[in-house]
Amino acid sequence: MNTWLLLLPLLIPFAGVPLTLALRKRRRIQSALALGLMLAALGFTLGLLRAVLTTDQPVSVQMGLWQAPFGITLTADPLGVFMALMSQIVLTAGLIYSLGSTEKVVQYPTYYPLFLALATGLTGAFLTGDLFNLFVFAEIIVISGAVLTAIADDAYGVEAAYKYFYISTLASVFFLLGIGSLYVSYGTLNLADLAARIASTPSAPLTMAGIAFLTATFLIKSAAFPFHFWQPDFHAAAPTPVSAMLSSLVVKVGVYGFLRMTTLLFAEQADLLKTLLVVVGVAGVLYGGFGAAGTHNVKRMLAYSTLAQIGFILVGIGWGTPLSLAAALVFTFNHALIKAAMLMLAGAMASRAAVKSASFEVVVGVGKYHPFAGVLFLLGGMALAGIPPLNGFISKLMIFWSGVESANYAALAIIGVASIVTLTYVIRSFIRIWFEANPKAKEKAGDRLLAPALLVFLSLLLGVWAEPLVSLSQWAAAWLGDPALYIAAILR
Amino acid sequence: MNLLTSLAIGTLFAAGIYQILRRNVIRAAIGLVLLSNAVNLFLFSAGAYNGAAAAYSNAAGQISDPLPQALVLTAIVISMGGFAFVLSLLYVISTRYKTSDSDEVKGLKN
Amino acid sequence: MSQMLQVSVPLFLVYLALTGNADPANLVVGALVAVGISLLRPKMNLPLLNLKRLPQFLWAGIRYLFVVAGDVIRGGISTARIVLDPNLPLNPGIIAIPSGTRSELGTALSAHSISLSPGEMVVAIDDEGVMYTHCLNVDDSEKMVADAQNLRKNLLSRMFE
Amino acid sequence: METILQILALFLIALGTLLSLIGVIGFIRMPDVYTRLHATGKVSVFGLVFLLLAASILTPLTIWKALLLIFFVLAASPTVSHAISSAAYRAGIPIVGKRDDLKGKMEVGKEKDG
Amino acid sequence: MQDFLLTLPLLLLGAGTLTALVFSRSGWTASRLGWLLSLFPLTSFLLVLYAFSLVPSGKALTFSLPWIPALGLDFSLYLDGLSALFALLITGIGTLVVIYAGQYFGDDASAWRFHAYTLLFMLAMLGLVLAGDLITLFLFWEGTSISSFLLIAYKFKDEAARKGAFKSLFITGGGGIAMLAGFLFVISITGGADFKTVLASGGVLRASPLYPVLFTLIAFGAFTKSAQFPAHIWLPEAMTAPTPASAFLHSATMVKAGVYLLARLNPALGQTDLWFWTLSIVGLTTMLVGAYLGFKQNDLKPLLAYSTISQLGVLVALIGQDTEIAFKALVISILAHALYKSALFMSAGIIDHETGTRDIRKLGGLRKQMPVMFGIMGVAALSMAGLPPLFGFLAKETLLASATHPSLPPIVDSLFPLTTVIAGALLLAQAGLAIWGVFLGKPADEKHPPHGHDPNFAFWLAPAVPALLSLLIGLTPVEPQFLVHFLADAAKAAYGDKVKISLALWTGINVPLILSLVAVTLGSLVFWQRGRIRPWMMNFLPNLTANALFDGTMSGVDWLSRTATRLQGGRLRVYIRIMLLSAMALVVLFNGMPAGVSIPALNWNIEGLNGLRMFSLVMLTASAVVSTVLRRDLYAVIALGITGLGVAVWMALEPSPDVALVQLMVDILSTVILILSLSLIPRRLRDRANELLHSRRGMLRDALLAGLAGLVVAGLAFTALNTRPRESVVSPFYAENAKPLTGAKDIVGAIVVDFRGADTLMEILVFSLAGLGIYTLLHYATRKTGEHPHEEPERQLKPNSPRGIFNLPTSPMLHTLAYIMLPLAFMLGITHMMYGHDQPGDGFTAGVIISLAIAQWYMLFGYYETRRKLAWLNRNNMIVAGLTLAALNALGGAVFGGGFFSPVDYGEMLNLPLPPGFYLTNSFLFEVSIALSVMGAATLILDNLGHPREEDIEAEADLAALEEKS
Amino acid sequence: MKSLLDITIWIVLIAHLLMALVAAWRVWRGENSVSRLAGLDLASTLTIAILVIISIIRANIIYIDVAIAAAALSYISTIALAKYISDHRVF
Ligand code: NA
Ligand code: NA
């Protein structure tokens, strides 16, 4: 039973690719089917979470029943299922938005197949227990994301995809170099097995090289400063529903990678890495914050903001205390919801602008006719800035708290100061779009607001009733605290 | 031999990087191919001691490590697909930006 | 039907060559595969050959092969001599050789066998079936190739008319 | 019998390599593209053919499979030389030699370097 | 049970907000709505009163609800004297403000928004003072920031409102963050957030080494909120808010939040030198600055705002003291100020509303037209001036009393009274300015005297009530005991010890009284000489404001932002260089280059095939390098082809025939598509970009960078080669089990389709996505923008001209070859699928082989003829079939083989008579599905890269339909 | 006899690799695109030959299977290049 709970969230979107492609001539059925499949996958993921929670044991499947470490392991440990659930929720919202989108791209026959492929890649990346398999899933994410961006209505989509792809290729190269280094040192690819062997012989000739290259890889994947260059362009140019997924989920693959590195694979050697993550994170918080305040386009602003928010998360991982890890997880989850919602709102406003663009001088004053969107945007912005009663506040509270408790005052001070910048750009953009006047702005229909409304509601809910998410992440963080448990659960 | 092999891999990698850094996008694309070749060769050298026999179950004597070979197969296919996609991007860029100079492809900035 | 056979029978043989076992099951599978592939064939303008002329076809074909082989050896030796001669006695040039047929296949086969033999190489072919051939030594190629071509031509015409 | 076959194989290999060598020497010595194509396109191919025959003696390789491979090579290589030479002519690469029946029959490219 | 009582006032205000929203569409006028909505704050006022009557003196009423147990956080409320004082002010004045706002907006039906914001703000404010723990307090604290942002920006059409709103939010928000950090420090020290714990652990807190930090953070938060110098600058600009909002925010409530916080935490954090000095200095400075700047104003509202600032300074300074009298002064001043300042603000609003201006230069002589307002405003102003017999006088007396308290340290004991007197004098002068300017004096230009008359009762009722109260409390002969105890409780809560309160105005001739007289005389002098003094003040350092600080910060932020975004310059090559260097830096940082790279580790034995390896290595390296130096892209591509061959040979020698085969196929495929894109991108474009043809700038730098990277990788490979084990950990398993478990001789093949089948499954997805992506990009995304128009069918050669490879049709020779090779390629591919488990080749090679044969057709017959001749070629459906089959096949493993992806031998199951060496397993089916999807994708790639301009029937139809839609 | 055979084969293999190098050299220094193309063509023929020789040395026909596929397809890239050289378009 549990086997299927683990397999289906991955298998359904995968099978959805050919199915929706087969239905490419009947767009209505195609899109409905895509949403249906995604909802089904989400349902099974919830079931999976329940299974893992009740048994407090990871669910794992050996593909083809080849026992670990020889076959490929699918693993839903608390962290994995946590991330998978996050992805599926946001992906569902993304599909809902696509159904109501006015962009041409959603009408292309391959849009939904590509979207489901993205879903496959994300779910798989979080649920696989094998290093190389993770690489493959990451590649699925890269190619589907790049394609979806290249075919965007936005004329710059191709450029964005081109830059993203080259930089991702760099990441893939680093990833393979890292995998090779670890394989030659430990002769295995299964994460649990690898972790066990690294623990027993911490310093093989190429261990550190492996760490270095994996670090570089995940720094690119998580678009952390100074490996971020692809991100603002890419997230700004993609079709709105896609950019929402990219900025909220895709960068989390890197975050996930660092969580695995610091808590599972290199639990012993991770001190340097953790320090590095704090430094990089702080840099990202500053750079992203100021970039967001300085850029000329709402979507870009939100992309830069992702850079900053990832910074917060990396700092949390770097501090590495149970509380800070839990904080990082809560932050990860909440940011996914918020950022998706905000990008959707930005896109929705762009779709209502005189010419379809998200740049400020176009969308300024467009909010005049859309007060509801304004309320959503203000709430989302508050969440982003960590203002109660929205979920962003919980994230900020926990990060700050863990900083206080682990006595990391320097970093804490900087990110504290930087987080006022968030408030600045959020409020400024709100003022520009909803308060300033623009003669060109006309009453105009655009993308539907259902999806962002749902996400904002969820953010509000998770702010007011934060207990479930917080305890969930503490549970996951507790598991991260003891890699032996994970290893034992897989190699049993 | 090891030294020569590793130097060859390094040279291939360097050539790839150098090409990727060319302004002519076609050269940069060629760089992608060279890079993936270099990485694949590296994966080979990450395999356990390369034996005298191909990795077939009926082979006599020490066989070469099959796992990296399988990984390389996957990596080749993946990078092949990506490479083709990049080429299509380059074509569109050349029509949209009327250039094949990667330095002139900077509509997205700040 | 005969079209299909003309495609699938050779394919069947190729299958056998590739798999290299004459197990009855393998013959069946091979036949199925061959037929299956021949179903995908594009409509081709192969000259029909009816089965009662098959032996004649084969006989002509074999002779054709020998002619070609002869040319090849002859050309090979002459070319080798040229290449290895210290002062490279070349007299290259392009000469026009009419294939004498307008059918694509016929021209193609002639051009192929000419090009196969070292020393001559068809550069271009026009709709009349004239093969513009590049030769290492124009003078001796001209006449040799010419009568070789006659031989080929009537062999081909016997194979398919 | 065994030995005879091996001697035959040895002969074939030697012959094949010889042909390939001739091909390469021609490839180096010949004055222009067209003449060079005679060397590469054919001679070295026959070298390969003889090697295959030898292989069918020395290895489990069946003669049928060898013949199939030979067929591939022999079918392709003349055609390829034809393609290359026509491309060269079309591109406007001049031929060495006085006689050229093809001259003026088709429009050719300006640039001397395809 | 009674605890729940505390939630009711909050719930009521929430209900009020919702009611306002509900009535948004009703079209009710603001005044009607105002009356209705005023019931909510009124009721909660009464409820608070009732609840407080239940509180035993000196105790507190608490309510607590677990909020985030995981973090030990509760949502808790807390009612004692201090919170009651503020709660009653908020709800009481709130009630009046709602009514007043109703009148102010008259029959404007869109003012429901304002009502909603007001009630929302009231909710937040009430929650702030009723909060029972630091976190709950913070929740409401931020709430007040946001809702006041909305109130200040209410008239968002004018820029000043937007600016003011942003400024207040920025400053108070920044303070909020600092405060949160401070709270977290407190919590981590005391181990609890609720006030019971915090107030009880003052000793621990003051002793903690972190005390200075947390004090600074919390004080910063409080100061920003309570507009203490230099953070006071947002308050005057917040006057862009509609007057009802100003009256509420800036008299009774929001600005007092900081005061409340300090008073609340005084027992825990107070009574230290740091506390005393900081609060005294900041408070007194603010008092002076506010009083001074206030006297410069001509507009009534800023004038009142500055006097508020000055008052807030007083309050802060008082909290700083450690004397009973100070806290007596504190509570009295809070009450007094709330009363007269709200009255004054509301009156100012009425004046503005009736006469259309608030400028005291334009106003004047209105006492006849507006007697009632004259009365109300007069009383309030006198109270502000601190003249008997008004409540304000008492406030000032007690203030002076604490200013002259003997316990004060030197210097302060002279400065405190001095500043108090000066400030008092200036405040009196300001009060005079207001009254004189509006009612008594003459307007600046006599010709246009202001017109206006008293509004209706409902409008002036709101200011009348507090004004009257400040008169009554002063005049009452007998102290109202209730009030006394009430204030005493409040003061006790703040002071932490009993505070004796008396409301008697006359306490005999004493120092405070004398100082008070001094202040009054001084003030009267200043007012009398205002004609001289104010112009001088205007000219004296006219732009000496702390705004410079704010603007400086803002422009700093902007500068940093511009710099940050400038780093994103748009040049991919720059990005890659930076990333590459950083990555190499990482390798160095992690010390990833092991010492294994040492010459002794060399071994030069050229055994086995090493010699040949060397040749192939030389070949591939040489051609790779050559491909970088060749000038023409075409040559580089050819050289790349050689590199590919070299790699293939090396792989064959490794020995790994499977990979060598795939490498060969891929080498051919990538050469072909590279040539395709050469033909797509005009050569002049490529040459213009080719540095080898002109500028060589930067090439050396790139060469160095590349060399560095190459060295690192070489070192990596060298270490790997020298340290790799003779036998991997996992591979022996594959070697032993490939044949028995999967029936495959080819171990690599077994890994690809069985042991690690999941990788392959996803790999073919990637490949298919690439194909689909190219198709969509070239036939949909770029078509809709009409970037490359359709081309007429291929150029034809003119009849009877010699044919070769060039143009179309190509020569018969080539046609024949194409005809022969296609079915052979199919056959080859099928054998790869069927026997791939025993020999090199698999589904992927099968797919590529067939696609290449088809590509050859495209070359030799052209697009349209090929599509016509190979009608069965539907790429998308091939991908559909391939991926579906792959998924089903994996499921088949689960159904028949016991596990997802498990090997199943259908042939055996159905005991079919299959030829030896061919097994109808799901591995075979997997190969088939791989072949199908790869074939589909590869054909898509070749076809679309080769013919971006030709029509694709399916796409054309789709796009046509799309056009109709839009 | 056997050893003689071995030696010959080794020599042959070295010879082929040298020839491949010659071809590569021609690609680097060809007087025009077509002669470089001819070099590539020669190199791929020699690659097939090398595969055959390896299979003789290893007495293992799996290399022949590789060679077959190579022989069946390697000319396609040559044709593509030729077509591009002749009129700057391939398909
Ligand atoms: Na890649
Ligand atoms: Na295989």
In this prediction, residue C76 has a pLDDT band, given cuts at 50, 70 and 90, of confident
Taking the C-alpha atoms of residue E380 and residue E365, their distance in angstroms, rounded to an integer, is: 18
* E802–D105 CB contact, under 8 Å: yes
Taking the C-alpha atoms of residue B83 and residue A162, their distance in angstroms, rounded to an integer, is: 11
Does B52 have pLDDT greater than 80?
no
Average pLDDT over residues E510-523: 89
E445 CA distance to ligand 1 middle (Å):
80
pLDDT digits (tens, 9 = 90+) for E141-172: 999 999 999 999 999 988 999 999 999 999 99
Does E545 have pLDDT greater than 70?
no
With CA atoms as reference, report the closest residue to E945 among D97, B89, A312, A398.
B89
On chain E, the residues whose CB falls within 8 A of the CB of F88 are 679, 683
Taking the C-alpha atoms of residue D103 and residue D92, their distance in angstroms, rounded to an integer, is: 11
E942 CA distance to ligand 2 middle (Å):
25
The residue ranking higher by pLDDT, E705 or E24, is E705
Does F63 have pLDDT greater than 80?
yes
Poorest-confidence range of B65-69, E835-839, E957-961? E957-961
Mean pLDDT estimate for chain C: 85
Poorest-confidence range of A54-68, D99-113, E128-142, F47-61? D99-113
At residue E500, the 3 state secondary structure works out as coil
pLDDT digits (tens, 9 = 90+) for E905-926: 999 999 999 998 899 999 999 9
Average pLDDT over residues D60-77: 90
Exposed/middle/buried for E704, CB within 10 Å: 0-12, 13-18, 19+? Answer: exposed
Write down the pLDDT at residue C50.
66
Quickly count: other Cβ atoms within 10 Å of residue A132's Cβ.
23
CB A147 within 8 A of CB E773: yes
* E675–F81 CB contact, under 8 Å: yes
Write down the pLDDT at residue E788.
63
* B46–A236 CB contact, under 8 Å: no
Pairs of CB atoms within 8 A across B/F: 5
CB B35 within 8 A of CB E724: no
Taking the C-alpha atoms of residue A349 and residue A341, their distance in angstroms, rounded to an integer, is: 12
Q: What percent of chain E has pLDDT over 90?
A: 64
CB C15 within 8 A of CB E827: yes
Record the tokens describing residue C113, joined without a space: 């066998």
Write down the pLDDT at residue E543.
58
In this complex, whether C and A touch, counting 3 or more CB pairs under 8 angstroms, is no
Quickly count: other Cβ atoms within 10 Å of residue A262's Cβ.
21
Average pLDDT over residues F19-26: 83
Average pLDDT over residues E581-593: 91
**DSSP conformational letter for D101:** T
Write down the pLDDT at residue A299.
95
Does F91 have pLDDT greater than 80?
no
Average pLDDT over residues E696-709: 91
Taking the C-alpha atoms of residue F58 and residue E609, their distance in angstroms, rounded to an integer, is: 10
Taking the C-alpha atoms of residue B6 and residue A485, their distance in angstroms, rounded to an integer, is: 39
Exposed/middle/buried for C155, CB within 10 Å: 0-12, 13-18, 19+? Answer: buried
* C121–D62 CB contact, under 8 Å: no
Taking the C-alpha atoms of residue E665 and residue E53, their distance in angstroms, rounded to an integer, is: 90
Write down the pLDDT at residue E653.
87
Taking the C-alpha atoms of residue E225 and residue E404, their distance in angstroms, rounded to an integer, is: 28
pLDDT digits (tens, 9 = 90+) for E410-425: 888 888 999 999 999 9
Poorest-confidence range of A232-241, E738-747, E778-787? E778-787
Helix/strand/coil (H, E, C) string of E133-185?
Answer: EHHHHHHHHHHHHHHHHHHHHHHCCCHHHHHHHHHHHHHHHHHHHHHHHHHHH
Write down the pLDDT at residue E317.
95
pLDDT digits (tens, 9 = 90+) for E635-674: 999 999 999 999 999 999 888 999 999 999 999 999 999 9
Quickly count: other Cβ atoms within 10 Å of residue A365's Cβ.
18
Does E833 have pLDDT greater than 70?
yes
Write down the pLDDT at residue E1.
43
Q: Give the distance from residue E718's alpha carbon to the nearest chain C alpha carbon, in angstroms.
A: 41
* E714–B13 CB contact, under 8 Å: yes
CB E522 within 8 A of CB E514: no
E772 CA distance to ligand 1 middle (Å):
16
On chain C, the residues whose CB falls within 8 A of the CB of E803 are 124-127
Q: Going residue by residue through chain A, which has 492 residues, state the pLDDT in tens, using 9 for 90 and above.
A: 789 999 999 999 999 999 999 999 999 999 999 999 999 999 999 999 999 999 999 999 999 999 889 999 999 999 999 999 999 999 999 999 999 999 999 999 999 999 999 999 999 999 999 999 999 999 999 999 999 999 999 989 999 999 999 999 999 999 999 999 999 999 999 999 999 999 999 988 899 999 999 999 999 999 999 999 999 999 889 999 999 999 999 999 999 999 999 999 999 889 999 999 999 999 999 999 999 999 999 999 999 999 999 999 999 999 999 999 999 999 999 999 999 999 999 999 999 998 888 999 999 999 999 999 999 999 999 999 999 999 999 999 999 999 999 999 999 999 998 888 999 999 999 999 999 998 888 888 899 999 999 999 999 999 999 999 999 999 999 999 999 999 999 997
Quickly count: other Cβ atoms within 10 Å of residue E866's Cβ.
23
Q: What percent of chain C has pLDDT over 90?
A: 26
- Indicate the pTM of the whole model: 0.95
pLDDT digits (tens, 9 = 90+) for E428-441: 999 999 998 888 88
Poorest-confidence range of E159-168, E700-709, E785-794, E827-836? E785-794
At residue C120, the 3 state secondary structure works out as strand
Exposed/middle/buried for B4, CB within 10 Å: 0-12, 13-18, 19+? Answer: middle
For A408: left if phi > 0, alpha if psi spans -120 to 50, otherwise beta; the answer is beta
The residue ranking higher by pLDDT, E501 or A338, is A338
Does E599 have pLDDT greater than 70?
no
Taking the C-alpha atoms of residue C118 and residue D23, their distance in angstroms, rounded to an integer, is: 10
CA triple E595-E601-E603, angle to 5 deg: 155
Taking the C-alpha atoms of residue E585 and residue E571, their distance in angstroms, rounded to an integer, is: 21
E738 CB within 8 Å of a chain B CB: yes
Does E593 have pLDDT greater than 80?
no
Mean pLDDT estimate for chain E: 90
Does E827 have pLDDT greater than 70?
yes
A440 CA distance to ligand 2 middle (Å):
64
Chain B neighbours (≥3 Cβ pairs under 8 A) are A, E, F
Q: For residue E857, what are the contacts with CB-CB under 8 A and spacing of at least 6?
A: E818, E822, E866, E869, E870
Does E607 have pLDDT greater than 60?
no
- Tell me the backbone φ, ψ of residue F15, rounded to 5 degrees: -55, -45
Write down the pLDDT at residue E600.
46
Write down the pLDDT at residue E784.
67
The residue ranking higher by pLDDT, E59 or E201, is E201
The sign of the CA dihedral E170, E171, E176, E179 is positive
CB E462 within 8 A of CB E96: yes
Average pLDDT over residues E199-213: 94
Among the partner-chain residues E630, E679, E863, the one whose CB lies closest to the CB of F84 is E679
Average pLDDT over residues E774-802: 75
Quickly count: other Cβ atoms within 10 Å of residue A361's Cβ.
12
Q: How far from E330 is each of A215, E538, E628, E850, F76, CA to CA, in Å?
A: 58, 32, 82, 91, 94
Write down the pLDDT at residue E606.
47
Does C100 have pLDDT greater than 90?
no
CA contacts within 13 A on the Cβ side of C63:
16
Beta bridge partners of E455: none
Spatial strand order in the sheet of C93-98: C93-98, C130-135, C120-125
Q: Give the distance from residue C129's alpha carbon to the nearest chain E alpha carbon, in angstroms.
A: 9
Chain F neighbours (≥3 Cβ pairs under 8 A) are B, D, E
CA contacts within 13 A on the Cβ side of E689:
25
The residue ranking higher by pLDDT, E367 or E125, is E125
* E827–C44 CB contact, under 8 Å: no
Record the tokens describing residue E662, joined without a space: 């795939």
F62 CB within 8 Å of a chain B CB: yes
